[in-house]
Amino acid sequence: MASKPFAIIAGVGPGTGASIARKFAHAYAVVLLARNPANFTSVVDEINANGGHATGISTDLSDANSVQSAFEKINQQHGPSPLAAAVFNSGGGFVRKPFLDLTEAEFTSGFESQGKGAFHFAQRTLPLLQKSTALPNPPTLIFTGATASLKGSATFSPFAAGKFALRALAQSLAREFGPKGVHVSHVIIDGVIDIPRTKAWTFDQEDAKLDPHAIAESYWHLHTQPRTTWGFELDLRPYVEKW
Amino acid sequence: MASKPFAIIAGVGPGTGASIARKFAHAYAVVLLARNPANFTSVVDEINANGGHATGISTDLSDANSVQSAFEKINQQHGPSPLAAAVFNSGGGFVRKPFLDLTEAEFTSGFESQGKGAFHFAQRTLPLLQKSTALPNPPTLIFTGATASLKGSATFSPFAAGKFALRALAQSLAREFGPKGVHVSHVIIDGVIDIPRTKAWTFDQEDAKLDPHAIAESYWHLHTQPRTTWGFELDLRPYVEKW
Amino acid sequence: MASKPFAIIAGVGPGTGASIARKFAHAYAVVLLARNPANFTSVVDEINANGGHATGISTDLSDANSVQSAFEKINQQHGPSPLAAAVFNSGGGFVRKPFLDLTEAEFTSGFESQGKGAFHFAQRTLPLLQKSTALPNPPTLIFTGATASLKGSATFSPFAAGKFALRALAQSLAREFGPKGVHVSHVIIDGVIDIPRTKAWTFDQEDAKLDPHAIAESYWHLHTQPRTTWGFELDLRPYVEKW
Amino acid sequence: MASKPFAIIAGVGPGTGASIARKFAHAYAVVLLARNPANFTSVVDEINANGGHATGISTDLSDANSVQSAFEKINQQHGPSPLAAAVFNSGGGFVRKPFLDLTEAEFTSGFESQGKGAFHFAQRTLPLLQKSTALPNPPTLIFTGATASLKGSATFSPFAAGKFALRALAQSLAREFGPKGVHVSHVIIDGVIDIPRTKAWTFDQEDAKLDPHAIAESYWHLHTQPRTTWGFELDLRPYVEKW
């Protein structure tokens, strides 16, 4: 197992992160990061029960010490193995209220999660990814964006500031590390994802929420692209979404 | 054969169009459209020799009569069968010269190909695609864009005007026909494609040109997305491309 | 009068074009172009009555012969004088209907007006503008865009295709002719303009329509920018506009 | 003097901020904010010597306490007067180095300045601006962007993350406070500004740097737009700039 390539999925809850972990677990050992272990325990167990190899590490990506500790554990578990893919799917920073009611902490929560958290994740994974260019699929770093990556709507400034910053980071890394053989992508999720938390949200039409499994398929597709033909940005939305 | 789903690929030369045709021919009968039969004959033969089902029709998509004639032939060949996918990959309109040296015909050539041609193609294929929503993969209409879809560079106005117009059309159709079950996408090809015409173009790094086969894989991926999770726009470029 | 700098305003009706003409007439002789003389007669008379110098020429900018004739007249009237500014404000191509109901002529009407018309206007004015770099304000070519310059909404494809193409042209010309001393700009009008035709359109809030006079002030501001500090794109909308 | 409208300019050095202060000082009392008093002292003296009314307050906008103190002083000085305009022109966060060499503090410096700093500035000025809707010019909040507001270039991630976040904030505030009568704008400065620090930077062509005075003229133009016709985003660059 030591030399089996592995993938790291950050921001795993019972939705997109879990589906991405399941998908990548067909090919790789997977490490799941989330602040709250409750968010990854069941999917870790499920993957291992199905013959995959998964571990979970409680991590606060916005905290350098927590990140340091997590990647030490990763190094112990997978040290000699090549890192095939890293996916940054952290939520957080989704505060919505009138601007003048925001505290500094509420406003900066978007950047803490999407900016600082992504910075730490990228700094830890890129040195490993750069060593993995001999794998069949180019090593890949994917960031999850949102509608707010492109549009700063009224009362959404904390989240939009974080998601805009994340997109800036993704572009910058794609331009710096692409020529070094690491595929950096940014996927814009534009709509409501079909997860337990949104079960009660109903729409006039059926199939109006994004399917986490289908999102994971698109992440995997990006991962399998050869370096001649890399996608940087892909926007995903339900067929009935207004945009 | 009559009820086998089919796909129509417009703009088939010895590059992207041929690769898309080959890829979609694994699942569907394919109809290849190009102005010059020399552009599709060999790939039609190749697909049929490999057990696929391909036909080619010489068509000028910017000419309503030629389009009328082509779709009458398509109707004769595939009338009762569902249209699973339509890909608009026409080139044309790539005139590059100082603006004041352009003739009206040169300037409008970009729109003739990318605007009017795409209009005809969409008007003929959308009524068929709308009938195919019961197929396993949602019926799909994909347009091929370029760097010039997003940026009007100096001396590129004919091509950029055409590609900008094509992107406007793609957006408009995605918003109108998405809720009707047709997946409309726009793929931005940002770089030099590795085709016979560009063989002599050399770069400092290897793998610096887009691989038509890999482009076709991405078109196919878009086609297989469920309607909960449709990608509209994807940009593809080589790992060393400046952007 | 022969050596007084002049400006050409294309697309003059009782709204933005007339206001731009009035504004630029404070500094320059003005030539007003519109297909229908009824659209410019009253503003021409008004400017002349107020001590300005205005002429109107009936012109179809999408028709090369009509353009040829118009610029011969302009040459007769203003031949030795420097052209200080040219504004392309043509409407046209605003057809809104379900895509499958569009005729080819309806779809292409947007490009005929916004693409081909702008092409002719730019080809005729740029050679004159390039000779005017010694004027106090850099010679300026401004194109009027719209919401549809950036977004292809459902059922708006004719207009959006035209406005996207116009924006491509504006970008390309800014990049080619900026270094030659001609200031090319693109102004995006995002909202309903307060003109006679929209008088009956009411909104919940007052001042919810764009004021043509204020639009003209912004065009003039762009015209007065020194070449060190040129604005390319400015979006204008009412304070209550949703965007 | 107590009732004279005033403007606050944040981020004043010997360039754009100083020119904006000079321009707005023709109409308003001006308060200049900068971390280092050396940056505003000479322009404060100059404005007062020329018959204007200027004060400077040493402020670190990323520090809530410093901001609190600064706005208490502003309230003492201008309490009963209406705030006519507020300009956020802070620099900072311009760290350029290979991504893997960045410290957390270096990466977050862009957001500290452009995100958190702009948050504090907006939270303090918007309540005052909202009270000033009876002034001749609509109360205005302008943010200074950069090339990095739209493009995350390689090795620019700290600055780009900050400038992207700032643009998200500006969009969000424009949408929330526009309908409340406050004009929010975002100006993208694309190129080198002609300031003492860049004197030694030479270009092949003359006039290849942005003129701070001309930038200030555009800020003033935005400020004078009526609420029917507000510009949100304007990009400014020298005539020879590549973009």
Count other C-beta atoms under 10 Å from residue B163's C-beta: 33
Q: Which of D63, D71, D111 to mutate to test the interface with A (most CBs of A within 10 A)?
A: D111
Q: What is the DSSP letter of C179?
A: T
Closest CA–CA distance from residue B140 to any residue of chain A (Å): 12
Instruction: Summarize pLDDT for B48-104 with one digit per residue, the tens.
Output: 999 999 999 999 999 999 999 999 999 999 988 999 999 999 987 789 999 999 999
Going through chain C in order, the beta strands assigned E by DSSP cover 6-10, 29-34, 54-58, 83-88, 140-146, 183-189, 230-237
> C123 and B99: CB-CB below 8 Å?
yes
Closest CA–CA distance from residue A224 to any residue of chain D (Å): 24
> What is the SS3 string spanning chain A?
CCCCCEEEEECCCCCHHHHHHHHHHCCCEEEEEECCHHHCHHHHHHHHHCCCCEEEEECCCCCHHHHHHHHHHHHHHHCCCCEEEEEECCCCCCCCCCHHHCCHHHHHHHHHHHHHHHHHHHHHHHHHHHCCCCCCCCCEEEEEEEHHHCCCCCCCHHHHHHHHHHHHHHHHHHHHHCCCCCEEEEEEECCCECCHHHCCCCCCCCCCCECHHHHHHHHHHHHHCCCCCEEEEEEEECCCCCC
Please report the pLDDT score of residue D12 as a whole number: 86
> B211 and A228: CB-CB below 8 Å?
yes
Spatial distance between the Cα atoms of B220 and B140, rounded to a whole number of angstroms:
10
> D209 and C228: CB-CB below 8 Å?
yes
Spatial distance between the Cα atoms of C74 and C36, rounded to a whole number of angstroms:
17
Instruction: Summarize pLDDT for B104-157 with one digit per residue, the tens.
Output: 999 999 999 999 999 999 999 999 999 999 999 999 999 999 999 999 999 999
> A207 and B194: CB-CB below 8 Å?
no
H/E segment holding residue C225: none
Which of A148-170 are b and which e, b meaning 16 or more Cβ less than 10 Å from the residue's Cβ?
bbbbbbbbbbbbbbbbbbbbbbb
Nearest CA to B242 out of D242, D187, A129, D235 is that of D242
Residue C152: pLDDT band (50, 70, 90) is very high
Spatial distance between the Cα atoms of B150 and B166, rounded to a whole number of angstroms:
11
CA–CA distances in Å: residue A41 to residues A12, A31, A35, A38, A70: 10, 11, 12, 6, 16
If DSSP codes are grouped into helix, strand and coil, which group holds residue D209?
A: coil
Please report the pLDDT score of residue C91 as a whole number: 86
Q: Would you say A62 and A10 are in contact if contact means Cβ atoms under 8 Å apart?
A: no
> A231 and B228: CB-CB below 8 Å?
no
Residue A1: pLDDT band (50, 70, 90) is very low
Instruction: Summarize pLDDT for C13-35 with one digit per residue, the tens.
Output: 889 999 999 999 999 999 999 99
If DSSP codes are grouped into helix, strand and coil, which group holds residue D49?
A: helix
Please report the pLDDT score of residue C79 as a whole number: 86
| Range with lowest mean pLDDT among A82-96, A156-170, C108-122, D63-77 | A82-96
Closest CA–CA distance from residue B114 to any residue of chain C (Å): 10
H/E segment holding residue D183: strand D183-189
Two tokens, residue B136: 């396993």
Chains that touch A (3 or more CB pairs under 8 A): B, D
State mean pLDDT over C61-90: 96
Please report the pLDDT score of residue A79 as a whole number: 86
CA-CA-CA-CA dihedral for B104, B106, B108, B111, to nearest 10: 180
Q: Would you say B115 and B160 are in contact if contact means Cβ atoms under 8 Å apart?
A: no
> A115 and D98: CB-CB below 8 Å?
no
Please report the pLDDT score of residue A93 as a whole number: 76
| Sign of the CA dihedral with D74 first, then D77, D81, and D85 last | negative
> C233 and D230: CB-CB below 8 Å?
no
CA-CA-CA-CA dihedral for C47, C51, C57, C58, to nearest 10: 30
Q: Which residues on chain D are in Cβ contact (under 8 Å) with A151?
A: 171
pLDDT above 70 covers a percentage of chain D that reads 99
pLDDT of residue C1 exceeding 50: no
Count other C-beta atoms under 10 Å from residue A201's C-beta: 10
| Minimum CA–CA partner of B208 in chain A | A228
Spatial distance between the Cα atoms of B107 and B92, rounded to a whole number of angstroms:
11
Please report the pLDDT score of residue D93 as a whole number: 76
Q: What is the CA radius of gyration of chain C?
A: 17
Q: For each of the domains in chain A, give its residue range(s) and CATH number, in order of start.
A: 6-236 (3.40.50.720)
Two tokens, residue B135: 């197929």
Closest CA–CA distance from residue C77 to any residue of chain B (Å): 23
Q: Which residues on chain C are in Cβ contact (under 8 Å) with D172?
A: none
| Minimum CA–CA partner of B234 in chain A | A234
Per-residue pLDDT of chain D (243 residues), as tens digits, is 447 999 999 998 889 999 999 999 999 999 999 999 999 999 999 999 999 999 999 999 999 999 999 999 999 999 889 999 999 999 877 899 999 999 999 999 999 999 999 999 999 999 999 999 999 999 999 999 999 999 999 999 999 999 999 999 999 999 999 999 999 999 999 999 999 889 999 899 999 999 999 999 999 999 999 999 999 999 999 999 999
State mean pLDDT over C67-81: 96
Q: Would you say C15 and C43 are in contact if contact means Cβ atoms under 8 Å apart?
A: no
| Minimum CA–CA partner of A192 in chain B | B228
Spatial distance between the Cα atoms of A67 and A46, rounded to a whole number of angstroms:
25
pLDDT of residue C192 exceeding 50: yes
Q: Would you say A22 and A43 are in contact if contact means Cβ atoms under 8 Å apart?
A: yes
Spatial distance between the Cα atoms of C145 and C143, rounded to a whole number of angstroms:
6
Spatial distance between the Cα atoms of C24 and C141, rounded to a whole number of angstroms:
13
Query: What is the residue type of C111?
Result: F
Spatial distance between the Cα atoms of C129 and C177, rounded to a whole number of angstroms:
10
> A236 and B230: CB-CB below 8 Å?
yes
| Minimum CA–CA partner of A177 in chain D | D154
HSE of B104 in the Cβ direction (CA atoms, 13 Å)? 16
* Beta-carbon contacts below 8 Å between C and D: 107
Q: Which residues on chain A are in Cβ contact (under 8 Å) with D170?
A: 152
> What is the SS3 string spanning chain B?
CCCCCEEEEECCCCCHHHHHHHHHHCCCEEEEEECCHHHCHHHHHHHHHCCCCEEEEECCCCCHHHHHHHHHHHHHHHCCCCEEEEEECCCCCCCCCCHHHCCHHHHHHHHHHHHHHHHHHHHHHHHHHHHHCCCCCCCEEEEEEEHHHCCCCCCCHHHHHHHHHHHHHHHHHHHHHCCCCCEEEEEEECCCECCHHHCCCCCCCCCCCECHHHHHHHHHHHHHCCCCCEEEEEEEECCCCCC
On average, the pLDDT of chain A sits at 96
